[in-house]
Structure 1
Amino acid sequence: MNMLVIYTHPNHQSLSYAFLQEVISGGKENGNIGEIKVLDLYEEGFNPVLVFNEKKRRRDIHTDPDLAKYREQLLWADKIVFVYPIWWGRPPAMLLGYIDQMFASGFAYKDTGKLLPEGLLKGKSVVCVSTMMGPAFYPLFWLNNAHKVLMRKALFNYVGIKKVKFFEFGSMESPRGKHKEKLNKIYNYFKAVAG
């Protein structure tokens, strides 16, 4: 299986970066994973800003030549892993800008005239590894699970990806946040995951 890891944090000294390293380390020891590619959106200088005008139309974004290599990465991947912090109850704007451009009509889904479109990314699986300052129960009880609903239902299920797993680690700015235990959990998951 091919694994694409999309990392979204501006600081390589961050805990998110440590989680990225555990994803890679575990994945390299997993015989089910053939190749791993990492897309670091900040290091890449990915432009999250949508531009629509006379030359760039929304309906043509799925063929934008500036995004071709990112489309190829998504098509290549069997498993897509997102590593990011949760800020204000949602992923960083950089990642949302990537999603806005990459999960476009004509590439990630096709309108069928029915209530829901045809997802064009069927057969892939997704893992979201996220960290937050607040306690782990905060998104569930205070925000009605908005983060998971956004990612699973509004995005991944919409484009045909049904297998979605979440690791939401809370209290990450606390010295009692059990960082090593959580990092080890990610390493072990990716070392053993089958699909």
Structure 2
Amino acid sequence: MKTLIIFTHPAPESLNRSFLNSAMEGLSSNMGSDSVEVLDLYKENFNPALVFNDEKRRRSMSKDPELESYRKMIQRADTILLIYPLWWGRPPAMLMGFFDKVLSSGFAYKQTEGKILPEGLLKGKRVICVSTMKGPKGYPALVLRNAHKVLMKKAIFNFVGIKKVKFFEFGSMESPRGKQEKKLEKIKDYMQKLKPV
């Protein structure tokens, strides 16, 4: 089982980094460190901005050589673990730009003549989303009607063929009473017990 962790937070010493460390510790003890690959989008200086011109056309994105290494990472992975904060009720623009550029037509999905919806090409994988927020845990469900989960599960991952999507939404992360250690331990424990897809 190969796991790709896509980490998206600009602060080197953030709580998100602690979640990354907990996840890696759990995964390494479960399946060995060789089976875990980490993509830190900020450390990578990933450019999330789409550019279309005479050299870069939307229909050619799945063959863009600048994105080839990321496509290979996703192809290798059985499990894609995303660790990110929720800002304005959604993942950071850096992560959304990664999806815009890498999950392109011809790689992540294809349109078949005569069918209304495209066919997802990333079947057989699973996604685990670990997100943090300053607000209370129930905020996305009560105020935003689970917009974050709908976006990630339905609009992105189900669309590209990934049906197994698990969420961990941790709130009150900046509160001294936020029970951060228990939350970190929960992720470590989950990764230690993770079974093949």
Q: Same fold (TM over 0.5)?
A: yes
CA distance in 2 between counterparts of 1:115 and 1:139 reads: 31
- 1:120 alignment counterpart: 121
Read off the aligned partner of 1:2 and give its amino acid letter. Answer: K
Instruction: State the Cα distance separating 1:32 from its structure 2 match.
Output: 8.4
Q: Is the 8 A contact 1:6 1:39 kept in 2?
A: yes
Measured against aligned partners, the alpha-carbon deviations of 1:80-106 in whole angstroms (never above 9, x if no partner) come to 000000000000000011010011110
**Unpaired segments ≥5 residues, structure 2:** none
Residue of structure 1 in register with 2:148 after alignment: 147
Runs of 4 or more above 2 Å deviation: 31-34
Measured in 2, the distance between the counterparts of 1:32 and 1:166 equals 23
Instruction: Report the Cα distance in structure 2 between the residues aligned to 1:16 and 1:117, rounded to whole angstroms.
Output: 34
TM-score (structure 1 length as normaliser):
0.98
Q: What is the aligned partner in structure 1 of residue 28 from structure 2?
A: 28
Alignment correspondent of 1:163: 164
2:82 is aligned to 82
Matched pairs, number: 195
Q: Residues of 2 paired with 1:66 and 1:34: CA distance?
A: 25
1:43 correspondence with 2:43 = yes
What SS does the aligned partner of 2:162 have? coil
Q: Specify the SS of the correspondent of 1:128.
A: strand
- Percent identity of the aligned residues? 58
Aligned residue runs from structure 1 range 4-23, under 5 A: 4-23=4-23
Match of 1:105 in 2: 105
8 Å contact kept, 1:120–1:160? yes
Q: CA offsets per residue over residues 53-101 of structure 1, 9 Å max, x none?
A: 1110001001000000000000000000000000000000000110100
One-letter code aligned to 2:142: F
Compute the displacement of 1:34 (Å).
Answer: 5.8
Q: Which amino acid aligns with 1:145?
A: N
Q: CA deviation at 1:116?
A: 1.7
2:95 aligned residue: 95
- The question of 1:71 aligning with 2:71 is answered yes
- Name the CA distance, whole Å, in 1 between partners of 2:136 and 2:104: 33
Contact 1:32-1:194 at 8 Å conserved across structures = no
